[in-house]
Amino acid sequence: MRGRILLAVGSIVVCLLGAEVLLAVVVPQVHRLPDIWMHDARLGWTHRPGTMGRMVTPEFDVAYSIDAAGRRRHESQAGPDAVRLQLYGDSFAEGWGVDVADGLAARLETHLVSSRGVGVTNYGTAGYGTDQEMLLFADAGAPQSPDVVLLLFYANDVWNNVSRRGIGARRGAKPFFRPSQDGALHLMGTPIPEPEPPSPSLARTLKERFHLWALGRKAWTRKVPVPPQQMMQFYGGLYGTDSARYRPVWDLTEKLLAEFALLCRQAGATFVLIYAPAIVQIEADDWRTKRELHDLTGDYDLSHPNRHLGDIAGRHGISFIDLTPAFQTAAREQILYFRDSHWNEAGHRLAANVIAAALVDEGIAGLLESDD
């Protein structure tokens, strides 16, 4: 009897181990973020200097390494006299889900050619809005005397900019700006108090380490749907045709971009605004799925964010690169996004090619040519 019980238990264990291995190879389930972010009283959160880790999801498993200055590290070949470019943005600029060598910053550095050499420093930080990116430039970037500042703008940045809490990977409190009656921007919400550390959780540990557990939890845990009205507002502000309703949201973003451009001019740098298209603007099936999932009714104009951003750039004399047309063309033949809506390696490669060519065409900072 005892032998039968042991045999049965052993058989169950072997089956579970087999299922775990099979899932890991065929359909990975775990989600695990590296411990590379930390609280910051001025910015809300920032990279933890000198840390390393792996980002693991069903779609990718990549290493993250943060340098002593709190930036995602890549091996730069640029000398001290090189043309200095700084890249700002959220998880797209940070290189979410791709190896550092495949990310936008590293690819730009290899694509661009100058008689002085070219160096690209990546200040991209997951979850940041334009407000945090501007503060990061003022505190850390401007003192380094860059020649060119590239700001990668993603559509949901307009909601980040009006929010007191982060959207995306980091959801803690953040700094925010509000305009006064005379139009000047005032920084609010700082210093940001340090949040309570998360309590240890066996369930979270199991979900981050074991594919079978993660699959079972996904099957049995009922997801709380996002309220339809909240999703209508989110997508309405980005792509809705009722521009008057959401004008204050975009007006704040315009003030932030104008202020960012001014800070760059004062630092002797050329400011370049780059629009990173959302997956719904590139993949028609994804937009149809989201409309059905969130019951999005009414009229939408998917070209609204990049067109509006171009108008803002024109009013303030800001160089502007819209990646949307190139992505729409390339998407007919290749997949440019992970299913979590971030660029994959092909997306980063295309973005680097387009940006490098545009910088050269505009004759910015003595850039002579693109290697493509």
Supply 345's token pair. 């390696």
In this predicted structure, what is the pLDDT of residue 9? Answer: 61
Q: What fold does the segment set 72-211+227-370 form as a domain?
A: Rossmann fold (3.40.50)
Each residue's pLDDT tens digit, 147-195: 999 999 999 999 999 999 987 555 689 999 999 888 899 999 999 998 8
Supply 65's token pair. 């390494």
In this predicted structure, what is the pLDDT of residue 318? Answer: 98
In this predicted structure, what is the pLDDT of residue 28? Answer: 67
Each residue's pLDDT tens digit, 269-293: 999 999 999 999 999 999 999 999 8
Percent of the chain with pLDDT over 70: 82
φ, ψ for residue 21, nearest 5 deg: -65, -45
**In terms of Cα–Cα distance, which of 140, 153, 135, 171 is closest to 253?**
153
Supply 55's token pair. 């980002």
In this predicted structure, what is the pLDDT of residue 195? Answer: 83
**Strand pairing of 37-40 and 44-47?**
antiparallel
φ, ψ for residue 260, nearest 5 deg: -60, -45
φ, ψ for residue 61, nearest 5 deg: -145, 100
φ, ψ for residue 281, nearest 5 deg: -80, -15
Distances (CA, A) of 103 to 4, 99, 126, 232, 280: 55, 7, 14, 32, 21
Report how far residue 49's alpha carbon sits from residue 358's, in angstroms, rounded to the nearest whole number: 33
Each residue's pLDDT tens digit, 300-356: 999 999 999 999 999 999 999 999 999 999 999 999 999 999 999 999 999 999 999
Each residue's pLDDT tens digit, 230-243: 889 999 999 998 88
> 3-state class of 189 per DSSP?
coil
Which residues are CB-contacts of 328 (< 8 A; sequence separation ≥ 6)?
277, 281, 282
Is the predicted pLDDT of residue 210 greater than 70, yes or no?
A: no
Which residues are CB-contacts of 76 (< 8 A; sequence separation ≥ 6)?
109, 119, 120, 121
Q: Where are the domains of the chain?
A: 72-211+227-370
Residue type, 61: D
pTM, to two decimals? 0.90
Each residue's pLDDT tens digit, 21-37: 655 555 566 578 899 99
On whether the CB atoms of residues 102 and 349 are closer than 8 A, the answer is yes
